[in-house]
Amino acid sequence: MINEKQTLMTFSFDAFDLNTISNVSHSMKTVVISGSPRKNANTEIMMRYVYEYTKSKNEDTKFINLSEGQIEYYHGPDGNYNEATKQATKDITEADIWLVGSPIYNSLFSSALKNLFEYVNYKKTAGKIAGIAILASGNIGFTDVQTLITQLMSYFRVITNPKAVFMTADMIKDGQIIDGEIKTRLHELVDETITLASKLK
């Protein structure tokens, strides 16, 4: 396995202006994934914000929301799965960029997110680019979960933007993100991941 993380750290995101990002994003497909299975989850609020910002740059952006409960539990490659599960698998497989958000549950990312990726064929995902956003109730466990998600991405031969966003639940109030700095970081996550994809395309 090549040392992708060290290679990524040498890239300069500053070299690409917003016009370049916009032009590149329009030529690539993006999927935004909210990895919390809970209804009205803070992770969903975080990733819907990411989705809306990404969608403003590229119409070809899909949103997979695991709190809708439509993704079935994986029980083998020969299972007869519903259309929502098949469509989510198709969207992930066809996307050039994955923007993945997860809560922290017991120092791990969500089992619902792991279940989703059981459907994805690693032989069809090499060279894709991922960005990561993680939400927790407090400032603990972020780097551990970032490492776990990055390892999951590596299994699929996906290169991960090393600059993840770490967000806490107190940054959300009444269904809205209230922290201006974290909004900026989420924008940067999208822009920098698009830039990274353009460099490796």
SS (H, E, C) the chain: CCCHHHHHCCCCHHHCCHHHHHHHHCCCCEEEEECCCCCCCHHHHHHHHHHHHHHHHCCCEEEEEHHHCCCCCCCCCCCCCCHHHHHHHHHHHHCCEEEEEEECECCECCHHHHHHHCCCCHHHCCCCEEEEEEEECCCCCHHHHHHHHHHHHHHCCCEECCCCEEEEHHHEECCEECCHHHHHHHHHHHHHHHHHHHHHC
pLDDT tens digits for range 122-156:
999 999 999 999 999 998 899 999 999 999 999 99
Compute the average pLDDT of residues 92-113.
97
1 in a domain, yes or no?
no
16 in a domain, yes or no?
no
Mean pLDDT in the chain? 89
187 in a domain, yes or no?
yes
14 in a domain, yes or no?
no
Q: How confident is residue 1, by pLDDT bands cut at 50, 70 and 90?
A: very low
Tell me how far apart the alpha carbons of residues 109 and 152 are, in angstroms, rounded to a whole number.
10
Q: Which domain holds residue 40?
A: 29-68+81-200
The more confident residue out of 78 and 6 is 78
73 in a domain, yes or no?
no
Domain CATH for 57: 3.40.50.360
24 in a domain, yes or no?
no
191 in a domain, yes or no?
yes
What does the pLDDT read at residue 198?
87
pTM of the model: 0.87
11 in a domain, yes or no?
no
Compute the average pLDDT of residues 94-115.
97
Number of domains in the chain: 1
